[in-house]
């Protein structure tokens, strides 16, 4: 469904939004088409604004519902992501994009960190009883995680033919690199291997395939 992000009822202005896709854990930093923006139920829209006389942005989380949206605190966001995460693992047999298994607790709970950007960090706690899974260590055993950000910008630059992908670093899930394919078909990446050594990196190889 489509919503007008300018009409979110969260008392913030401006058009500084991020979008978490609940079904895929795709993450968008820059949104286009804000008046007519495509969302799905349980998606999270993060709205930010720097208010006067402050240095840090005020952040509001808006959860998409059947009828529109409502404001949620970070705990509710983590709960929604936890439910989506379990559904995703059952369906895909891997961890979603930007997710990393952090630890297991003595009571059988598990913590997965979803860090889609340097500033957006969601430690998600999964409790066995909430999901009807008796053994979470078994449930999360040997899972790889999705490396490519599945979220696609809604506005593609068709004129220049430029395409971009966001890829999580495999060693540090809190780092995300951007691979760009220019109009002439050549690739660049923002990772150190490409920037400093000008070598084709695994992020570019992944986008080519
Ligand atoms: Zn790279």
Cα 150 to ligand 1 centroid, rounded to whole Å: 17
CA dihedral 209, 24, 190, 157 (to 10 degrees): 80
Strand-strand pairing, 110-114 and 99-104:
antiparallel
d(Cα 33, Cα 155) in Å, to the nearest integer? 7
Report the pLDDT value the prediction gives residue 156, as an integer from 0 to 100: 52
Number of other CB atoms surrounding residue 152 within 10 Å: 14
Integer CA distances (angstroms), 188 to 2, 27, 93, 98, in order:
33, 20, 31, 21
Cα 209 to ligand 1 centroid, rounded to whole Å: 14
Report the pLDDT value the prediction gives residue 155, as an integer from 0 to 100: 47
Q: Are 161 and 83 in contact (CB under 8 A)?
A: no
The residue length of the chain stands at 209
Report the pLDDT value the prediction gives residue 154, as an integer from 0 to 100: 52
Mean pLDDT of the chain: 90
Report the pLDDT value the prediction gives residue 61, as an integer from 0 to 100: 98
Chain centroid, CA 169 distance in Å: 14
Secondary element (H or E) of residue 50: none
CA dihedral 19, 209, 145, 182 (to 10 degrees): -40
Residues 6+ apart with CB under 8 A from 79: none
Higher pLDDT, 79 or 158: 79
The mean per-residue pLDDT over the stretch 129-133 comes to 93
Residue 63 confidence class, pLDDT cut points 50, 70, 90: very high
Report the pLDDT value the prediction gives residue 206, as an integer from 0 to 100: 86
Cα 135 to ligand 1 centroid, rounded to whole Å: 36
Cα 136 to ligand 1 centroid, rounded to whole Å: 33
Cα 161 to ligand 1 centroid, rounded to whole Å: 20
Report the pLDDT value the prediction gives residue 159, as an integer from 0 to 100: 64
Residue recorded with tokens 């942005």:
57
Cα 174 to ligand 1 centroid, rounded to whole Å: 15
d(Cα 82, Cα 84) in Å, to the nearest integer? 5
Residues with CB under 5 A from ligand 1 (ion): 189, 191, 194, 201, 203
- Helices then strands, counting H and E runs in the chain, come out as 5, 13
Residue 153 confidence class, pLDDT cut points 50, 70, 90: low
Strand-pairing partners, residue 87, are none
The two tokens of residue 125 are: 């706690």
Higher pLDDT, 135 or 197: 135
pLDDT in tens, 40-55: 999 999 999 998 888 8
pLDDT at 2 over 50: yes
Report the pLDDT value the prediction gives residue 157, as an integer from 0 to 100: 58
Report the pLDDT value the prediction gives residue 24, as an integer from 0 to 100: 96
Cα 205 to ligand 1 centroid, rounded to whole Å: 9
Report the pLDDT value the prediction gives residue 7, as an integer from 0 to 100: 92
């Amino acid at each position: 469904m489509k919503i007008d992000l300018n009409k979110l009822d969260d008392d913030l202005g401006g058009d500084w939004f991020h979008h978490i896709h609940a079904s895929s854990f795709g993450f968008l930093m820059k949104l286009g088409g804000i008046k007519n923006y495509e969302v799905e139920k349980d998606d999270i829209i993060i709205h930010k604004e720097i208010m006067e006389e402050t240095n840090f942005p005020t952040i509001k989380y808006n959860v998409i519902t059947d009828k529109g949206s409502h404001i949620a605190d970070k705990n509710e966001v983590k709960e929604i992501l936890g439910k989506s995460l379990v559904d995703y693992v059952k369906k895909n047999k891997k961890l979603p994009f930007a997710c990393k298994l952090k630890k297991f607790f003595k009571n059988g709970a598990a913590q997965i960190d979803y860090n889609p950007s340097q500033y957006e960090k969601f430690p998600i706690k999964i409790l066995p009883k909430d999901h009807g899974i008796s053994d979470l260590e078994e449930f999360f055993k040997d899972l790889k995680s999705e490396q490519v950000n599945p979220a696609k910008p809604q506005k593609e630059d068709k004129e220049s033919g430029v395409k971009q992908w966001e890829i999580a670093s495999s060693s540090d899930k809190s780092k995300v690199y951007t691979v760009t394919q220019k109009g002439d078909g050549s690739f660049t990446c923002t990772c150190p291997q490409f920037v400093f050594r000008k070598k084709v990196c695994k992020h570019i190889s992944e986008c080519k395939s």
